[in-house]
Structure 1
Amino acid sequence: MTPPDSPALTTVFVYGTLMPGERNEHVARQGGDFQARPATLSGYRLIDLRPEAYPGVVSGTDTDMVTGYALTYAPAEWPTVLSFLDALEGLHETPPLYRRAAVTVQVAGQDEPAWVYLYARADRLAQAGAQTVASGDWRTVSDRALPATGDR
């Protein structure tokens, strides 16, 4: 969480269907305009979930890295953005599909704080169809644009 005396954290690291050019970019845009910058998240692993056809990020090793974008919104738009993103990511489902966590991402060689949605259903990861994306880049998954259950 952001300390109360700090400016609001209005950047979210996206690594899958919310990235520019991907099938849920429109959800990221529902909250308002944002600045999209290429970014990486170290120490985490990208998982491709099938048949769901969407990714998840989980804790990894020091050598693991996920490629995506840092989306930065205007502070006034942030509450609206969160409502759309939290709904898409199943944050309030029981049990939650994803959980939002504060992390440090690398943007143009600099560390920056950001939120990220981490996959929260450990039981699903032990089942068939959950595979690590070795490249850490969702755009390397050839059939990623297939319609997903729940359109995540």
Structure 2
Amino acid sequence: MITPDALDSLPFFVYGTLRPGERNHDLFLRGRTDREEPGRFLGAALYEGPGHPYAVEEPGGTVSGELVTASGKSYAGLLAELDRLEEYTPGSPHNLYERVARPVERPDGTTARAWVYLAAPAVATRLRTGGRRIASGDWLERG
């Protein structure tokens, strides 16, 4: 079954292991994108997870990353692969992440609507109460 989400070819906002130079970038994105550019997701905080980060919507925060536009021929397969990587299944109560459409800011100040994988509600609650927040909002600067 094709869902409305599958028909809407939004770019992806990546902020962790899918960024250039990180372990999943070449595995999933190399040769499958038309464009990769810096971006910022406003209204979110970044938390450290076991080997990967989680973005959690929080007023006043900013998460740095890349806005990735998949090539047309790669889009459907890439969307499915990223959903598996992020352990996201639409409607599942066991998701670690939720894929949501949110505005992402480009360096020139314009915004693009993009898929962002946010911490699922139960994960976000645990992170807010006992997680380690990455103060810079940038996974590459986590120290």
Query: TM-score if structure 1 supplies the norm length?
Result: 0.78
Identify if the C-alpha distance between structure 1 residues 38 and 89 changes in structure 2 by more than 3 Å, giving closer, same or farther.
same
**Following superposition, which runs of at least 4 residues in structure 1 exceed 6 angstroms of deviation?**
none
Aligned to 2:96: 97
- Is the contact made by 2:33 and 2:68 (CA closer than 8 Å) also made in structure 1? no
Aligned to 1:26: 26
Identify if the C-alpha distance between structure 1 residues 102 and 113 changes in structure 2 by more than 3 Å, giving closer, same or farther.
same
**RMSD of equivalent CA atoms:** 2.1
Gaps of 5+ in 1: 143-152
Aligned to 1:85: 82
Shift of 1:19: 0.4
Q: Partners in 1 of 2:95 and 2:31 — Cα distance?
A: 22
Matched length: 133
Q: Partners in 1 of 2:142 and 2:73 — Cα distance?
A: 35
- Is the contact made by 1:31 and 1:77 (CA closer than 8 Å) also made in structure 2? no
Query: TM-score if structure 2 supplies the norm length?
Result: 0.83
- Is the contact made by 2:35 and 2:70 (CA closer than 8 Å) also made in structure 1? yes
1:49-93, CA deviations, whole angstroms, 9 ceiling, x for partnerless residues? 2xx1210001111x2100000000123321101111011100037
Q: Partners in 2 of 1:76 and 1:135 — Cα distance?
A: 35
Q: Which residue identity lines up with residue 55 of structure 1 in the other structure?
A: P
